[in-house]
Structure 1
């Protein structure tokens, strides 16, 4: 997980959505859809980072588990409560994803700590998430775009803070993120089908 909300590479504007505000999931879906690649042939892969052994750091695997229960094709999900992606196995999992999917477009999902007034906010933006700060380990950045949830306050005894983060808040944030990603997958699937239909029509006209 990230210890602070600004610990990822910023290559563009970052949207901030309060997890329980009106239409939060739909706003998240719109932001994610706007960042989707123009090239529809790239597989969309979600890498949900975290561990179920820490309440605050369980946001990623909770999102992955909730998405696994839905049909979000053509998106692919990695990182669940049953099979989490964390500091120990992250590099191995990323290699597996690169071997399985050709030139994937990766959405990194992770928890982070931030200012008190920002707790409960979900951030969506261009560029990767930078995991590993919580264990003082140098890990590769993850994602063409990122979705991060600020689950608690940073600045003092972060490991203890993570362990004592309220599961109720993390679960609510995970549900909002999962619903938003699911809605984005439906929108992406429709765009892909329309693109394929147009391509088929163009090919028929050239015959």
Structure 2
């Protein structure tokens, strides 16, 4: 059985952003996902807003990825042009009309348990953005990468507003590093 077939939709792979061994496993799984969709245009859809510290993980990650200038990789959602609740549908329509059968990997911040803060989670299947703050937004992507930036369960908007920027910044750096290594391994090597 291949690694890819063992990675089911119910399975999530989780690693703390500064655990090098565990994040190398995430790179392997991301490379498997990219390789399986090699004939399709890859799109990294980074969801979030720069108006909330905790929710800026997606746009920060997108900005870092864009700066790398990886060939034939489309990155939507940056600090300059964020993809968020009010323009998500518009961006999904743009993707549908502009790309034939794209492979979309969605990225977003999320809230979780105290002992999970700082973890990055990779899962197959679509992301449900805004679920943690009770928004009804369309599901996105064939796989998704989330970063647990703070503790959830109570006053989620306030928690996102009061999340430490340093944590979000370090996680965004780590996520862009994971994605770029996996992309280079799958598409350029």
TM-score by length of 1: 0.83
1:36 matched to which residue of 2?
Answer: 34
1:61 matched to which residue of 2?
Answer: 59
Q: Name which one, 1 or 2, has greater alpha-carbon Rg.
A: 1
Deviation string, structure 1 residues 49-69 (Cα, Å, up to 9, x no partner): 000000000000000000010
Are residue 50 (structure 1) and residue 51 (structure 2) matched? Answer: no
Whole-angstrom CA distance in 2 between matches of 1:134 and 1:84: 19
1:102 matched to which residue of 2?
Answer: 100
Is the 8 Å Cα contact of residues 41 and 101 (structure 2) preserved in structure 1?
A: yes
2:3 matched to which residue of 1?
Answer: none
**Structure 1's 155 and 183: CA in aligned 2 closer, same or farther, altered over 3 A?**
same
Q: Please, which moves more after superposition, 109-118 or 32-41?
A: 32-41
2:4 matched to which residue of 1?
Answer: none
Count of aligned positions: 182
Superposition RMSD on alpha carbons, in Å? Answer: 1.5
1:160 matched to which residue of 2?
Answer: 158
Whole-angstrom CA distance in 1 between matches of 2:23 and 2:158: 30
- Structure 1 gaps of 5+ residues are 1-9, 192-207
TM-score by length of 2: 0.91
Deviation string, structure 1 residues 91-144 (Cα, Å, up to 9, x no partner): 000100111110100000000000000000000010111012355332110110
**Selected match of 1:89 from 87, 111, 123:** 87
Is the 8 Å Cα contact of residues 34 and 182 (structure 2) preserved in structure 1?
A: no
| Secondary structure, counterpart of 2:96 in structure 1 | helix
